[in-house]
């Protein structure tokens, strides 16, 4: 039975790389994949999913007005679709998450979503909240804080490289605007500096 997957992480954990690799694995076996990305993410060419290591692929765009079930159903009327991949899944609406669940349940096509869990204030994105509620399988894509501990939080930076605590939930940006931190250093609003305090034992580097 097809399932709805949610692969989540903090920023810069390689989600897009994993998505593109998984899609390639299907295609290598002669299967057809359908890729979507958020229309508001303009960091790369519009209609393209790109990873930091140079991988890229064309993708359909979604915004809040798009009915993903009907779009995918229409695609299946002309060719077989073996898997659906959603990049920047945190920008899905709750209704669209239910549409994707319907794709898995009614069309029997596995749907794999990749996105952030929380924003820079530690709050769930609407799409992520819905996916955490109803996805069949959830997987954490791990990355690390500057201290070596697992990073679970995202901090937003201003033009001076200082942490921002207020603002709109969605501000598009990459490494120049966001940094992933462990919960303790996110709460302390502590970025790595040349005058690092001696790390406490619980912040000793750990593998991921």
Measuring CA to CA, how many Å separate 62 from each of 11, 27, 56, 91, 117?
A: 21, 22, 18, 9, 19
SS3 readout for 138-164: EEECCEECCCCCEECEEEEECCCCCEE
Catalytic residues: 88
Structural contact between residues 13 and 142, judged by C-beta atoms closer than 8 angstroms: yes
Residue 171: strand, helix, or coil: coil
- Rounded to whole angstroms, the Cα distance separating 199 from 112 reads 38
- Rounded to whole angstroms, the Cα distance separating 15 from 52 reads 10
**Among 114, 112, 88, residue whose Cα is nearest residue 100:** 112
Place of tokens 């869990």: 117
- Rounded to whole angstroms, the Cα distance separating 151 from 104 reads 31
Residues 6+ apart with CB under 8 A from 112: 5, 7, 19, 22, 83, 84, 85, 86
């Amino acid at each position: 039975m097809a399932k709805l997957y949610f692969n989540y992480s903090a920023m810069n954990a390689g989600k897009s790389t994993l998505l593109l690799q998984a899609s390639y694995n299907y295609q290598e076996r002669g299967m057809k994949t359908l890729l979507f990305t958020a229309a508001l993410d303009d960091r790369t060419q519009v209609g393209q999913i790109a990873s930091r290591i140079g991988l890229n692929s064309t993708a359909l765009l979604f915004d809040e007005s798009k009915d993903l079930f009907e779009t995918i159903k229409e695609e299946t009327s002309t060719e077989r679709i073996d898997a659906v991949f959603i990049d920047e899944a945190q920008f899905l609406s709750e209704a669209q998450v239910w549409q994707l669940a319907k794709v898995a349940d009614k069309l029997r096509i596995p749907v794999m979503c990749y996105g952030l869990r929380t924003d820079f204030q530690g709050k769930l994105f609407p799409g992520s909240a819905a996916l955490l509620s109803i996805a069949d399988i959830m997987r954490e894509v791990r990355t690390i804080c500057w201290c070596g501990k697992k990073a679970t939080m995202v901090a937003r930076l201003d033009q001076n490289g200082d942490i921002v605590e207020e603002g709109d939930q969605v501000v598009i940006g990459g490494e120049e605007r966001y940094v992933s931190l462990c919960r303790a250093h996110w709460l302390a609003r502590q970025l790595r500096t040349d005058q690092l305090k001696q790390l406490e034992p619980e912040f000793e580097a750990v593998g991921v």
